[in-house]
Chains A and B, each alone.
Chain A
Amino acid sequence: MGHLSYEASIKAVYRGLILLGFVTLIEVFISLLAKGHVIKGAEQYKVILYTAGLVMIGLSLYKAYFIVYDFMHMRYEVKGLAMSVLLPTLLLVWAIIAFFQEGGSWKARRDQIKEKNAEEVDGKTQGGLSLRNDVYVLPEWRG
């Protein structure tokens, strides 16, 4: 792009290769660590799993930033172009968080239904409804 000399830009490319390779290896190591392949039993701790997940997401975002800014030369484009590509992408972050939240709530609801289905039915049940002790059922009620 004419911002660096030819020799300097070749050097920068190979530095990029080493950087991306190194970050990828760290990610794989962290993933294996969190799943208990490096230290036995580490997979039983939710804290390790969540921390490792956050670190890997951070490292992947860093790799994405490096590819876009260095390899794709976004660094040398005018600000307007960079913003017109990056700001819509930020909307995706919101969408991703929203949909994961939604997925989590489906699971909570399913678990709740499963739990309710497994509950023992006692004598206070009328027509398939489980009623509280302070609820009086009218005699006409057939359920």
Chain B
Amino acid sequence: MATAETVLEHEVHEYDSKDAWSGGKEPFKTSYGKLMMWYFLLSDAFTFAGFLIAYGSLRFSSSTWPVPDFVFSTAPFGIHHAPLIFVTIMSFLLIISSVTMVRAVQEGHRENKNGVVFWMLLTVLGGLGFLSCQAWEWTNLMGAEHMSVTTNPFGTHTSDGVYLEDEHGHAYKEGKKPEAFKARGSYLIHKHENEATGKEEWVQRKVKYSDGTLGVQELGPPAFGALFFFITGFHGFHVLSGVVFLLIIAINSGSGIYAARRNGYEMVEKIGLYWHFVDLVWVFVFLVFYLL
């Protein structure tokens, strides 16, 4: 005789032994592809966190560190002394491309093929715009300001003082008032061609600190260059691969492959998750590298 209890027991037993393991049930009520995309993004978040932790602990352990709004104060078309403006534009490009991606996913739910392709192509444009800006930023830092993975020309004064030489490394002319600087003030060491040897050399100006000691403008902590190029480069590589996959999926959408699939435009959702993650990482790269 089957009482309510035995029926319940029977069901539980069956669930444990067969149904849960016999396939057809989606864990977390989502498809395999989307779940794995979430876990890939989780592992990627750990990689980025490793980079940012390295940046933070090295910065905390150094007595001086380049001030970001001094380092990132140039923009194309000869704009100088515009702190953080260019990088804010880059952030907006990523935010806008994230929004167009959400629109593409929405059109995918409506099975609107042309809508998906249109909004995905706009997203690609946003990504390419971001990459172009980053290419300019890197070119400027490497070519004009001579930053590299091993050298960082951006320094910070540790105490008040005055310069004993002008910008070109020559002694001041008679009667010229020497330039003063304050503690925590930023400077960029330029490279000039040495007339005698014809080689490019750093112009490290002689200085006199307020306590009377003499010294030269020192190059900044070298880790800054390596961290900058590796972290923004790793993020830029994510954007680049995102653009490639967006293009592939946009072409597939246009060809009508997804319209014939049982799970419809789920591929658009998956690349959408990835693209939002790239934007998400930039939120923290922007915070750590440029804002703080």
Q: Which residues of B contact A100 (CB under 8 A)?
A: 53, 56-57, 60
Residue of A nearest to B37 (CB): A72
Q: Which residues of A contact B46 (CB under 8 A)?
A: 88, 92
**In whole Å, how far is B164's beta carbon from the nearest beta carbon of chain A?**
23
Residue of B nearest to A79 (CB): B28
Q: Which residues of A contact B38 (CB under 8 A)?
A: 81, 85
**In whole Å, how far is A24's beta carbon from the nearest beta carbon of chain B?**
6
Give the distance in Å from the alpha carbon of A2 to the alpha carbon of B106 in the complex: 10
Contact: B28 with A71, CB < 8 Å? no
**Looking at the complex, which one of A9, A17, A60, A80 makes contact with B283 (CB distance below 8 Å)?**
A60
* Sample (18) of A-B pairs whose CB atoms are under 8 Å apart: A16-B102, A24-B91, A25-B88, A31-B290, A56-B287, A56-B291, A60-B286, A67-B276, A71-B272, A71-B276, A81-B30, A85-B42, A102-B57, A103-B56, A103-B59, A104-B60, A104-B61, A107-B61
Asked if A124 CB lies within 8 Å of chain B CBs, one says no
Q: Is the interface of B mostly helix, strand, loop or mixed?
A: helix
9 closest Cβ contacts across the A-B interface?
Answer: A103-B60, A103-B57, A106-B61, A81-B28, A103-B61, A31-B291, A60-B287, A99-B57, A17-B99
Give the distance in Å from the alpha carbon of A31 to the alpha carbon of B91 in the complex: 15
A20-B95 contact, Cβ under 8 Å, with A53-B292, A88-B42: yes
A71-B30 contact, Cβ under 8 Å, with A53-B292, A60-B287, A89-B45: no
Number of interface residues of B (CB under 8 A): 53
Contact: B102 with A71, CB < 8 Å? yes
Residue of A nearest to B29 (CB): A78
Q: Which residues of A contact B101 (CB under 8 A)?
A: 71
Q: Which residues of B contact A17 (CB under 8 A)?
A: 95-96, 99
Asked if A47 CB lies within 8 Å of chain B CBs, one says no
Chain A 67-110, CB-CB to B under 8 Å as 1, else 0, gives: 11001100001101100110011001001100110111011001
**Looking at the complex, which one of A13, A30, A95, A102 makes contact with B99 (CB distance below 8 Å)?**
A13
Q: Which residues of A contact B41 (CB under 8 A)?
A: 85
Q: Which residues of B contact A131 (CB under 8 A)?
A: none
Q: Which residues of A contact B53 (CB under 8 A)?
A: 95-96, 99-100
**Looking at the complex, which one of A13, A96, A103 makes contact with B49 (CB distance below 8 Å)?**
A96
Asked if B141 CB lies within 8 Å of chain A CBs, one says no
Chain A 1-21, CB-CB to B under 8 Å as 1, else 0, gives: 110001001100110110011
Give the distance in Å from the alpha carbon of A67 to the alpha carbon of B45 in the complex: 14
Number of interface residues of A (CB under 8 A): 51
Contact: B42 with A13, CB < 8 Å? no
Give the distance in Å from the alpha carbon of A131 to the alpha carbon of B49 in the complex: 46
**Looking at the complex, which one of A37, A56, A88, A107 makes contact with B83 (CB distance below 8 Å)?**
A37
Asked if A48 CB lies within 8 Å of chain B CBs, one says no
A72-B273 contact, Cβ under 8 Å, with A92-B46, A96-B53: yes
Contact: B61 with A110, CB < 8 Å? yes
**In whole Å, how far is A139's beta carbon from the nearest beta carbon of chain B?**
40
Contact: B60 with A13, CB < 8 Å? no
**Looking at the complex, which one of A1, A56, A78, A95 makes contact with B109 (CB distance below 8 Å)?**
A1
Contact: B84 with A28, CB < 8 Å? yes
**In whole Å, how far is B38's beta carbon from the nearest beta carbon of chain A?**
5
Give the distance in Å from the alpha carbon of A139 to the alpha carbon of B291 in the complex: 61
Q: Which residues of A contact B83 (CB under 8 A)?
A: 32, 35, 37
Give the distance in Å from the alpha carbon of A95 to the alpha carbon of B53 in the complex: 8
Q: Which residues of B contact A102 (CB under 8 A)?
A: 57, 61
Q: Which residues of B contact A31 (CB under 8 A)?
A: 69, 84, 290-292
Asked if B219 CB lies within 8 Å of chain A CBs, one says no
Q: Which residues of A contact B59 (CB under 8 A)?
A: 103
Give the distance in Å from the alpha carbon of A31 to the alpha carbon of B286 in the complex: 11
Asked if B280 CB lies within 8 Å of chain A CBs, one says yes
A67-B283 contact, Cβ under 8 Å, with A6-B110, A16-B102, A24-B88: yes
Residue of B nearest to A91 (CB): B46
